[in-house]
Every structure is written in structure tokens, then in C-alpha cells.
Amino acid sequence: MICARAMELFGFGLGTFSELTEGVARAPGQAIPWLLDTDCDMMVYVERRATGEVSKDLKSLAEICHKLTSERGLGELSVTDHKLTPMVGQDSNPRPFRYDVKRNPKINAFTPKQLQTQEGDWVIFIQFPFLP
């Protein structure tokens, strides 16, 4: 089972995570919400190879599902704050490696903390997710 957690993708320990309603999380200047709208939304796929080398690739959720199922025998996938259900075509047959994505009523959101650079000066560190 692979579980994609928001904290691994956004925060890096420079802020706090909290559960917020989507409307509050999306308000300008409030937080960076962990949201997926479709299985075509992009995520950072991190893989550690047998050699110890780490690769980071930008892939859609559908691409990640296909890769992990075909290469690693993945049987189950969950994504924090989202429910995934297999996508069904017009002919009522499941579409391989495609998912309908629905968000939970409350979602995780990252609120960056202020970092002091010099006396009296403040900066806010934000790690932006990939935006299409």
C-alpha cells in the first residue's frame, strides 16, 4: 500500500499542518492546501533505486498508479484527504489505472512560518506545489 501524505510534499518542517475546510484553506494568504482535482493532477514521484540513487519526477497520479502497479505489484493506493474510486467508462467497464478523485470535507493545509533573516526583517518561506 502506498500512502501519499501532504507533509512529504509541501512542508519540510518550516511551518504547521492543520485540518481546514476547503474554503478556508483556499483563502488568499491563509495556507497552501493539499488538493487533487483529478487523477491527471501532477505530483512529485520520489524513488530510491537499489544503487541508493534518488530520483524525483513530476508525474500524474494516474501515471504513478500505472508505474507502481506494473513494476512493483501495488495492490492498493490511498491519498490523504481524498477518496479514490476506479473510473468507469461509458460502456460500464473499468478504465485501467484511472481514478475518480473526491476530496474529504476537511483537508490538510500547510501554513508557512515566518523566518527572521536580519534584525527587523522577516521573510515567509513557501514551497509552492506544481500549478498547471
The answer to whether residue 78 sits within a structural domain is yes
Domain range for 42 is 2-124
Contact by Cβ (8 Å): 42, 62: no
The answer to whether residue 107 sits within a structural domain is yes
**For residue 29, what pLDDT is reported?**
74
* Mean pLDDT of the region 110-124: 61
pLDDT, one tens digit per residue, over 39-80 is: 999 888 888 888 989 888 899 999 988 888 888 887 777 888
- Percentage of the chain lying above the pLDDT 70 cut: 75
SS3 71: helix
The answer to whether residue 111 sits within a structural domain is yes
* Mean pLDDT of the region 22-45: 84
The answer to whether residue 131 sits within a structural domain is no
Backbone angles phi, psi at 121, to 5 degrees: -100, 140
The answer to whether residue 113 sits within a structural domain is yes
The answer to whether residue 58 sits within a structural domain is yes
Give this prediction's pTM: 0.64
**For residue 46, what pLDDT is reported?**
86
The answer to whether residue 130 sits within a structural domain is no
Domain count, the chain: 1
**For residue 125, what pLDDT is reported?**
47
Backbone angles phi, psi at 19, to 5 degrees: -90, 125
Whether residue 126 is predicted with pLDDT greater than 60 in this model: the reply is no
- DSSP class of residue 74? -
The answer to whether residue 132 sits within a structural domain is no
